[in-house]
Amino acid sequence: MNILKQIFQKFLKNIFNKKKHVKLGLYGPPNGGKTTLANKICTDWLGEEMGSVSPIAHETREIHIKEQINIKRNGKELTFNLVDTPGIATKIDYEDFVKKGLKKEDAKKRAKEATKGVIESIRWLDEMDCVIVVLDATEDPYSQVNITIIGNLQAREIPVLLVANKIDLKKADINKIESAFPQYKIVGISAKYGKNMEGFYDALFELVN
């Protein structure tokens, strides 16, 4: 009888722990708005931001984790650890940072850190329970980086939600993203201005539950 009780308690503990430690990753190419979205989520539910944002690419060069974010919606509750990752790129040229106004030495340092950040992001793919891929809706969605990230998540059977960010901009085109990835749910938002965050949280509940 004791053994049965222990098994039952372990079972309950496992369910509880699983729900409590869902790792939700934010992935995508650089400057898609991953940290802006992370900041919006954290501001909405924790009252504080998560990381710094910049118009210069590769501002996030390390993995950042915000633990135990609890969101409530329509009587349901969801708790997760949010993992903001550096943008994944296939090329990094320090001269691009120099053009944006950085000193040569700072640009080289940023490029070096950015390459390490990309490697870290890729390593962490296996650790995720669910992933939000943040795409810039003004950019070409057919880039191989997007296809490689999504393909690898699909191969690992990790649930994916695609976010078309920056819909406040005139050039934004969600239809193009929908055509590129017809098998995925896509939510258009502006993380910067908080546009359609309600739709985003609805989709997040669907993704995680």
Contact residues toward another protein (CB under 8 A) are 88-95, 108, 111, 115-116, 118-119, 122-123, 125, 140, 142, 144-145, 147-148, 151-152, 154-155, 180
Minimum CB separation from another protein for residue 88, in Å?
7
Q: Residue 166: which region, alpha, beta or left (left: phi > 0; alpha: psi -120 to 50)?
A: left
The single-letter DSSP state of residue 127 is: G
Minimum CB separation from another protein for residue 92, in Å?
6
CA pair distance 71, 80, nearest whole angstrom: 9
- 64 versus 176: smaller Cβ distance to another protein: 176
Minimum CB separation from another protein for residue 169, in Å?
20
- 18 versus 104: smaller Cβ distance to another protein: 104
- 27 versus 200: smaller Cβ distance to another protein: 27
Minimum CB separation from another protein for residue 142, in Å?
4
- 19 versus 108: smaller Cβ distance to another protein: 108
CA pair distance 106, 19, nearest whole angstrom: 42
